[in-house]
Structures are given as C-alpha cells and as structure tokens.
Amino acid sequence: MSCVKETDAVISTTGMISRELFYHQDRLGNFYMIGSMGLLSSFGLGLAKLHPLRKFFVLDGDGSALMIMGTMALIAAEKPKNFIHIVLDNESYESTGAQPTISSSVPIGAIAEASGYASTVSVKSCTELAIELERCLVKDGPHCILIKVGIDPIPNIPRITYSPNEIRDRFRSFLMENTDG
C-alpha cells in the first residue's frame, strides 16, 4: 500500500480481501465490494475509463477472477492504461472456509497474458511486488500482478463497519471531489 498515492483509487473484492483491506488500511479512496463476487474487475474497468488520469488498483481474488473470467478478456480489449489488476491467489475460497479453487492447476496470469494485458507478472515476495508495482505505475496498462499467497486468516477480523451507502458515498465523493492523480 505504500505505492498507493492519496489520489489513487483502491477497490477490493468481496470477502476477506475487503475485510483485510478495511482492517489494515482503510482510506477515503477505497471501495469495498462487499457482495457480487466476480463483479469487481468490470466495475474497475468502467471507473478506469471514466477517470483516465487516476490509477486504479483492483484487488481481486483467484475465485472472483475466475468467476466472471470473461471480464479479463474485456479489460484486455478495452486497454485501460490506468488499470492495475492485482490477483491475490491463495488457491482457495478462504472466506467460505478455505475450500480449494482450481487455480492450483489453472494459471490466472496466463489467462490475462493470452487475453492481451499490457503486462502480466507473478510475484512471490513483498520485494518483488514493490518493484513490479513501481513499474506498473510508470508504464501503460492494463497490468496484471498475480501474487501467490498463503491462507492466513486473521482471528476475529471485523466485518466492514460502514453501511453500503456510506461505502458508496465516500468513494463517490473521493472520485468527484479530488483532482485525478
């Protein structure tokens, strides 16, 4: 998150990814998609097209990226330069009890690459991630960064305390009141 400027937007998929983002780094420019698994990346695509000067970090999971996989093809076809698709791949539906997804045998990064993302990389450490994020910030996207992560639930992690309307209004104000990055 240290790569994220105040004017950048961060949107996150349903379940633990949004809850962990809220828990660790709640900020005005965050949008937590607390339902609609699979929908995040298309929402991010629309936002990136409408705010071409602002960077969008789209925090997806392996399950949600695979759920509406056609959106990756759509992102590649639309070529939003300011779209950074970060797939946190723990090969499981951690939020529902860590049941396995199919991403241990289906390489999500290869799907993004074959679809035509401007760049696709897979990283395994925070050091690598920082380097790749810096690269994505200066080169035209859409970019995909696949991060293989472990299953490490935070005990008693709270649910997001904002109401859906509060999440919506805060993010809308952020996008409309702040100058694009």
Partner 1 sequence: MTIRGNDFWEFLISRDYTFFAGVPDSTFGPAYNALTSNPYLTYVPATREDSAIGVASAAYFSGEKGGVVMQNSGLGNVINPLTSFSLMYEIPVLLIIGWRGFGGPGSDAPEHWIMGEKTPSFLELLDIPYAILDTELHDEKIDQLLQSIEMQQKPGALLVPPGVFN
Main-chain phi, psi angles of 42, to 5 degrees = -70, -35
Residue 161 sits in the site that holds partner 1 (CB under 8 A) = no
Letters for 61-80 (x = contact with partner 1 by CB under 8 A, - = none) are: -------x-xx-xx--xx--
Instruction: State how far the alpha carbon of 55 is from the alpha carbons of 3, 5, 24, 152, in Å.
Output: 11, 9, 20, 28
Q: Output the smallest distance, CB 16 to partner 1, in A.
A: 17
Which stretch, 87-95, 131-139, 153-161, 170-178, contacts partner 1 (CB under 8 A)?
170-178
Letters for 4-43 (x = contact with partner 1 by CB under 8 A, - = none) are: -----------------------------xxxxxxxxxxx
Q: Output the smallest distance, CB 64 to partner 1, in A.
A: 12
Interface pick for partner 1 out of 51, 55, 85, 143 (rule CB under 8 A) = 51
- Which one, 19 or 132, has the nearer CB to partner 1? 19
Distance from C-alpha of 123 to C-alpha of 110, rounded to nearest angstrom: 13
Cα-Cα-Cα-Cα dihedral sign, residues 103, 89, 49, 136? negative
- Which one, 139 or 168, has the nearer CB to partner 1? 168
Main-chain phi, psi angles of 39, to 5 degrees = -85, -15
Which stretch, 46-54, 94-102, 116-124, 141-149, contacts partner 1 (CB under 8 A)?
46-54
- Which one, 77 or 130, has the nearer CB to partner 1? 77
Main-chain phi, psi angles of 58, to 5 degrees = -110, 105
Query: Are the beta carbons of 143 and 86 closer than 8 angstroms?
Result: no
Distance from C-alpha of 85 to C-alpha of 89, rounded to nearest angstrom: 12
The strand order across the sheet containing 143-148 reads 30-32, 9-12, 56-61, 83-89, 143-148, 119-123
Enumerate binding residues for partner 1 (CB under 8 A): 33-47, 49-51, 68, 70-71, 73-74, 77-78, 164-165, 167-168, 171-172, 175-176
